[in-house]
């Protein structure tokens, strides 16, 4: 009932407007009606084009988000595999330092710069490099594994093992590694399997260029 009343009121207003002499003249005179129709048609086309552009951008941003999410997942997975490989080599060194050196197993991973082992009391028990390096004491951390600037550390029984390596060997490109608490600040992030690290999305959606 209310809808019918509204339609009736609208028709009444339109009829009243058309009763006006100037309105009747505009409707009957093609010099006015044709330009007005052209303007209205152009306006409709412009509105449709703008709506389509917004829909296309939304679709492009959704695709960019999907691609970025998959990219950081792949990076996180490959980074975890590389760190696991370095940790395994560090465990081999910790188990038998002399045999490790005599077999020159360090050549298996050229990116590794140094490996250190501390006993339960924090005394350095073994090291690949005789001197140099940035670690003079066993790193303190909670949990079985942690990351270091340019390296990693893990617990091997009662001992602590650190492996220092070239960060470029992770092949992260423009991406970075951050602790999980920092990753929460990123719109998207992928956890590195087995490590207290995450790969955050390098760009926000507003920075994605839509072609």
Share of the chain above pLDDT 90, in %: 40
Question: Average pLDDT for residues 99-110, to the nearest whole number?
Answer: 86
The mean predicted confidence, pLDDT, of the chain is 80
Asked, for residue 186, whether it belongs to a domain, the answer is: yes
Which of 199, 202, 187, 174 has the alpha carbon at shortest distance from 83?
199
Asked, for residue 131, whether it belongs to a domain, the answer is: yes
Phi-psi region of 183 (alpha: psi -120 to 50; beta: other; left: phi over 0): alpha
Q: Residue 62: pLDDT above 90?
A: no
Q: Residue 156: pLDDT above 50?
A: yes
pLDDT of residue 211: 33
Q: Residue 209: pLDDT above 80?
A: no
pLDDT in tens, 162-204: 999 999 999 888 788 888 877 777 778 899 999 999 998 765 5
Q: Residue 8: pLDDT above 90?
A: no
Which of 98, 72, 86 has the alpha carbon at shortest distance from 188?
72
Which of 157, 36, 25, 14 has the alpha carbon at shortest distance from 91?
157
Asked, for residue 123, whether it belongs to a domain, the answer is: yes
pLDDT of residue 86: 96
Asked, for residue 47, whether it belongs to a domain, the answer is: no
Q: Residue 36: pLDDT above 80?
A: no
Asked, for residue 11, whether it belongs to a domain, the answer is: no
- Domain around 115: 54-207
Task: Report the domain count for the chain.
Answer: 1
In degrees, rounded to 5, the angle at the alpha carbon of residue 120 between the alpha carbons of residues 115 and 126 is 30
Asked, for residue 33, whether it belongs to a domain, the answer is: no
Asked, for residue 6, whether it belongs to a domain, the answer is: no
Q: Residue 129: pLDDT above 50?
A: yes
Q: Enter the pTM of the model.
A: 0.67
Q: How far apart are CA 189 and CA 194, in angstroms?
A: 15
Q: How confident is the model at residue 64 (pLDDT cuts 50, 70, 90)?
A: confident
Please give the helix or strand (H or E) that residue 43 lies within, else none.
Answer: helix 30-95
Asked, for residue 130, whether it belongs to a domain, the answer is: yes
Cβ density class 181-203: b for 16+ within 10 Å, e for less: eebeebebbbbbeebbbbbbbbe
pLDDT of residue 207: 44
């Amino acid at each position: 009932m209310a809808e019918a009343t509204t339609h009736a009121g609208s028709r009444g207003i339109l009829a009243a407007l058309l009763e006006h002499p100037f309105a009747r003249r505009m409707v009957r005179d093609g010099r006015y009606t044709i330009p007005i129709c052209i303007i209205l048609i152009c306006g409709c086309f412009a509105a449709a084009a703008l709506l389509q552009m917004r829909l296309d951008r939304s679709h492009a941003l959704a695709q960019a988000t999907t691609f970025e999410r998959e990219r950081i997942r792949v990076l996180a997975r490959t980074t975890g595999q590389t760190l696991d490989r370095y940790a395994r080599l560090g465990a081999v060194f910790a188990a038998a330092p002399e045999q490790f050196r005599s077999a020159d197993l360090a050549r298996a991973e050229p990116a590794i710069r140094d490996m250190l082992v501390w006993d339960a009391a924090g005394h350095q028990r073994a090291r690949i490099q005789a001197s140099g390096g940035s670690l003079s004491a066993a790193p303190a951390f909670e949990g079985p594994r942690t990351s270091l600037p340019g390296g990693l550390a893990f617990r091997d029984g009662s001992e602590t093992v650190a492996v220092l390596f070239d960060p470029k060997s992770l092949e992260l490109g423009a991406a970075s590694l951050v602790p999980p608490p920092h990753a929460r600040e990123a719109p998207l992030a992928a956890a590195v399997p087995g490590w207290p690290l995450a790969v955050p999305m390098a760009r926000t959606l507003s920075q994605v260029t839509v072609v």
